[in-house]
Amino acid sequence: MLYDDAVMDFHYVLTPDEMRRTEQMAFDLGVPSILLMEHAAIAVVDELENALGGSCRCKRVLFLCGAGNNGGDGLAAARLFAMRQGIATVYMTGEPKTPDAKANCQWAYEMGIEIVNLRTLPENELPFMDSGFRLAYDGFVDALLGTGLRGAPDELTARLIDAANSDAADGHSPVIAVDIPSGIDGETGAAPGAFIRASATVTFHAPKRGLYLTDRREAVGQLTIADIGLWEMTYAAGTLTKALHPPLCSVYTPLALRYLGKRKLNAHKGDCGRVLIYAGKMGMAGAAAMCAQAAVTAGAGLTTVACEKEIIPILQTLVPNAMCVEIGEAVQNTPAFDVLALGCGLGQSEEVWNNIIKLWNPDKKSVWDADALNLLAKHPMKLGKNAVITPHPGEAARLLGKTAEEILSDRFAAAQALSEKYGCTAVLKSDVTVICEMNDNGPKFMLNTVGSPALAKGGSGDALTGILSVLLVQTSSLEAAALACLWHGMAGVVGEEKFGQRELTTAQLIACLHEAEQRGRGEK
């Protein structure tokens, strides 16, 4: 999923209920609801026109509209599409129910747009079959269900969805989803029945959680976040911050990588942070090497690896910029550090745990990954606000005494539970990473949505640990975690382009960090 965004470096991510409350604040201030619907429809038609090659003229598009305000958005879009010389047809799954939808239905009808209420037709007169529609269309607009869906679509709606998916399967007919692809839950991302497979989704004001949490992310297509005027209208009266302060969830766009900053001209290695890594054992030296190489590449002034004596020659060869110290010596005379990174390829012996406890200082920042997390699950304790844990769903399941399926069923709840139980910032890694930090006002979440399937390979997590360790020197745990995940994800995007989705190695991933930063800054 990609952003169509050239201005913002972050977005709030809302639940459908938060979106409704935001809209209601605007209505209470006197903003006409039909004006917001018109703004939404303009954004949809702009995206549709682009998908049709830059012109609506003489293009035939089918608008699939439900009875609620999502359908109203679709009806308004059909009218605007016709005003751009397009040929619009509207199939509705019922009579419009809301005042704005009714008004737009009437205006579209008065323009001569064909509007068919499918509920009124006998089965043998329905204009679609299981294999698609009886007429050919250049594109489709999905305005059937919106973010208010709970459960699976009804039979008629499901058949419409299947017909649209069938006709658009060859990729030649774009499908533009209005706010969220129909059939996908706006809060959880669940898709218990039929769902639209969109080539693009135009979501309004802010992305909804379900767009990121769904395991049908390909169905969202290109994501455009359309400004329909809510920020300005509500901020002007000073009410939005009261209703949504502090914002529960945010997501960085690649432009946030400019926060990585530039070094001062007179910077020296002591200014750039000292990272101590306890990682690796015989047979797993590569994990320690990847973590250390990522820390060096991400900008650590001094990187030291505490490890078993046997693998020091390996690490000195693989990461010559890093220093090495035998673990027995390190626990007796711990090297100076700003951030401690723990766990990559360590093993899970009690001796390892004892070494972790001797190295760890709760007053200093730390990153806990891999085997350090598995040992933490056996010895649960509060780590404190300076610590960041980075479990994948399997590790999170062990930390919380749950199954991986339970973790993935509600990643927000799981990330919050991890943060609460261990008293630290939690980074729940997945295709979309959920980061949670507890504060006096409750949980604060950040998401990372930037990445590539090329990262689904051993070693990727080791690289993230090294990157995060460096960024923790510079900023708060929550922001460091979000920036590290973004930088790591962008490097995955660059690496996939350069080396391939299957072929990308962790060493190549780390080598892509510079270009990833350049792209985030808009320099390349």
Length of the chain: 524
Write down the domain spans for the chain: 10-245, 266-432+456-475
Question: Rounded distance, CA 145 to CA 142, Å?
Answer: 8
d(CA 98, CA 242): 28
Fold classified for 266-432+456-475: UDP-N-acetylmuramoyl-L-alanine:D-glutamate ligase (3.40.1190)
pLDDT above 50 for 1? no
Q: What is the structure's pLDDT at 282?
A: 95
Q: Helix axis angle, 33-51 relative to 99-110, nearest 10°?
A: 50
With a cut of 80, say whether residue 214 has pLDDT above it. yes
Residue-averaged pLDDT of the chain? 93
SS3 413: helix
Q: pLDDT category, 171, cuts 50, 70, 90?
A: confident
For the domain bounded by 10-245, which CATH number is listed? 3.40.50.10260
Alpha-carbon gap, residue 232 to 215, rounded angstroms: 33
Alpha helices (runs of H) in 257-306, residue ranges in sequence order: 285-298
The pLDDT tens digits for 91-122 are 999 999 999 999 999 999 999 999 999 999 99
d(CA 148, CA 15): 10
Q: What percent of the chain has pLDDT over 90?
A: 82
420 with 438: CB under 8 angstroms?
yes
Structure tokens at 105: 């239905």
Average pLDDT of span 298-327: 97
Are 141 and 76 spatial neighbours (Cβ–Cβ below 8 Å)? no
Q: Is pLDDT of 58 > 90?
A: yes
Predicted TM-score (pTM) of this structure: 0.90
